Structure 1
Amino acid sequence: MSYLAWNCHGLGNLRTGRELVEIIRAKDPVVVFLAKTLTDDARLKFVQSSIDFDYRWVVPRVGRSRGLVLYWKASINLTVEGSDRYYIDAVIDKNTENEWRVTGFYSEPDTARRHKAWRSKFTWGKHFESGVSIWERLDRCLVTNSWFMKFAGSRVYHLTCTSSDHKEVVYSAWGSGSGLGADGNILRKVERCGKELGRWEKDVFGNVRVELNRLKQVLAKDKRTAMISGNNFQVREIERDIEVLQDREAIM
């Protein structure tokens, strides 16, 4: 079972909503935590319908900033324990031997120790018109030793996105407490998901989807080059081209 966490930097535009739908269809998470939603409950309800999730827990935005939301499916036994402007805390399979906690957190509690404790690959980038870029490691998944022993086959993925300057974080939990049933059932789900994605991509988006995929591959390469050269002009140009195609895709 997979979980998605993303600082989406606003859910008010079609491009971000479409990209969220794409990654959920591809990764099939059962829980989704979104930070910095910057929108109202009506829009969050619409997003819930778009991604076909059963429940949501909302921490309202403050003016035009912040805002958190947790979505989850009925197939998982999740209980929200508490929340405030910085986090949503929940428990999976409460009061059972498989009980464990998942907390979606936004903000940095100790900036002085950030680089010392969380060294890893970059998950956030800001590109300025001067050609200079700033790269930071801001988005993470932290687990306890006991959780990792329960889900020993777990993996964390950082996915490139274009509608936010933060990468999406997906963690897949595979182990005795994953609640996914027999291996055959897992394989059937993966196979069915792949087939549905193939049909959806071909029938709905056609050439737009092909070109978007090509540009995203080019963008990933250009970002690596920009980290070395210190010049982000090509990155910003490709990002503009991607935004045009994503806007076209969102209204199709």
Structure 2
Amino acid sequence: MNALAWNCQGLGAPRKIQFLKDVTRSEKPVFVFLSETISSYSKMEELSSSLGFEGFMAVEPQGRSGGIALFWKNTDSVVLRSCSRFHIDVLIRTTDNKDWRLTGIYGEPGRANRHKTWDLLRNLSRDANLPWCLVGDFNNVTSQKDKKGGPPYPEFLIDGFNSCLHDANLQDLDIIGHQFTWEKGRNTDHWTEVRLDRVLANNDWLERFHTAKVYNLEGSPSDHSPLLLVPDSMNRGNRKRHFRFENAWLTEPACFQIVKSCWEEEDNGSVIQKLKSCANSLDIWGKDRLKDETGNWVDWNSGFPEMIKEYFQKLYTEKQSQGEEVLSCISKQISEQQNLTLLETVKAEEVKEAVFGMHPDKAPGPDGITKNKKCSMPESNWGSRWWRNWIVFQKNWNI
């Protein structure tokens, strides 16, 4: 029953369509709510079908702004309750007769009209006799902590939104991952981040889905990050994933012991079998390795960002190392004669003849350099020498 909510800021760009396809393929949401689609009803119908959803509802934009859509997997499991330019409200039928309600929200973008969104939530809550969950871009924050950079958020908007949540008996679910969902001006002095997208729910829904989690899926081609709601958080945790070795494990003595033990246990096995055994053991062991250098547990709110920063600072700090043992294991690819040829003194005439003898439109060879039979250098080492000689050529010919 996972639900994805994303303010895509228009689906005209192919990369946004591809991003949406990649996310739905990897996260497998049962529901997808899109806001600011700036797309026609027919285009949303086509997109819904291409993503593998049986049912959909879309509200077209007005001019070049707005537009919302909701996709769902099983046509028979969803009943449309109401919709407008800023919301789509549906009833979700379940096989165990524990129906619940899902509402996609797109908040009024203009601050002067923000009260209309609050009134909409209050009106919808009057019919909240079922477990109820809301997802989307609410275009509002609940505190100054929801904003980073730029001027403070207007207090009257914060107070108005919180008053609305109180009246509608809705609670804000925490986000796992980066805490901000919208940004502008990255890498400038005006970089601003705000948590505009969120998931709200009433007490009945929270009691039923007490393990619910909300994940911030970063890397979006939009200014907004998608949010993934997982009502049963065990669903996401049980998905099969590929093993990835973490370099940070090399600082743990236990890592070496695990590798040593696995290698010895598979003494008669092949190298592939030994690697698989190591990967399985490290994967299980590595799930609990989220500690800093002092051995303290960390998370996003207590030291994890700082730990990541410190790790990469150390990783990219230049260190003196000796690589003779590694180099001794690499077989030679060129002969001594070829090496002497590559080390010969470069003559300006030789470089000029090679450069001016090239055809401008011929396809390059395996080394990426265009070949030409007029070159005086042997074809086997022509490309390698050309790059080494180019700087000398520039200097000698003043180009």
| TM-score, L = length of structure 1 | 0.65
Specify whether residues 130 and 12 from structure 1 end up closer, same or farther in structure 2 by C-alpha distance, changes over 3 A only: same
Pairwise mapping of residues 93-112 of structure 1 onto structure 2 (< 5 A)? 93=93, 97-107=97-107, 108=114, 109-110=117-118, 112=156
Per-residue CA distance 1:38-60 (angstroms, 9 max, x = gap) = 01123212311321111110111
Aligned mates of 1:22, 1:131 — CA distance in 2: 32
Q: Is the 8 A contact 2:7 2:36 kept in 1?
A: yes
Q: Does 1:165 align with 2:223?
A: yes
Counterpart code for 2:15: R
Q: Does 1:142 align with 2:191?
A: no
Counterpart code for 2:158: R
Q: Sequence identity, in percent?
A: 30
Counterpart code for 1:136: V
Helix, strand or coil: the match of 1:19? helix
| Structure 1 gap segments, 5+ residues each | 176-182, 196-223, 226-252
Q: Is the 8 A contact 2:55 2:75 kept in 1?
A: no
| Structure 2 gap segments, 5+ residues each | 108-113, 119-139, 141-155, 163-171, 243-304, 307-399
Q: Is the 8 A contact 1:30 1:72 kept in 2?
A: yes
CA shift for structure 1 position 95: 11
Q: Is the 8 A contact 1:122 1:138 kept in 2?
A: yes
Q: Does 1:45 align with 2:45?
A: yes
Pairwise mapping of residues 65-214 of structure 1 onto structure 2 (< 5 A)? 65-74=65-74, 77-93=77-93, 97-107=97-107, 108=114, 109-110=117-118, 112-114=156-158, 117=162, 121-127=179-185, 131-174=189-232, 190-191=239-240
CA shift for structure 1 position 128: 6.6
| TM-score, L = length of structure 2 | 0.42
Counterpart code for 1:55: G
Per-residue CA distance 1:130-157 (angstroms, 9 max, x = gap) = 5421111100000111111111111111
Aligned mates of 1:127, 1:68 — CA distance in 2: 26
Specify whether residues 70 and 130 from structure 1 end up closer, same or farther in structure 2 by C-alpha distance, changes over 3 A only: same
Counterpart code for 2:217: L
Per-residue CA distance 1:168-223 (angstroms, 9 max, x = gap) = 01101129xxxxxxx9xx69x934xx58xxxxxxxxxxxxxxxxxxxxxxxxxxxx
Aligned mates of 1:26, 1:169 — CA distance in 2: 14
Specify whether residues 138 and 57 from structure 1 end up closer, same or farther in structure 2 by C-alpha distance, changes over 3 A only: same
Counterpart code for 1:80: L
Which gives a bigger RCO, structure 1 or 2 (Cα 8 Å, sep 6+)? 1
* Count of equivalent residues: 185
**Superposed CA RMSD:** 3.0
The structure where strand makes up a greater share of residues is 1
Aligned mates of 1:76, 1:157 — CA distance in 2: 28
Specify whether residues 131 and 149 from structure 1 end up closer, same or farther in structure 2 by C-alpha distance, changes over 3 A only: same
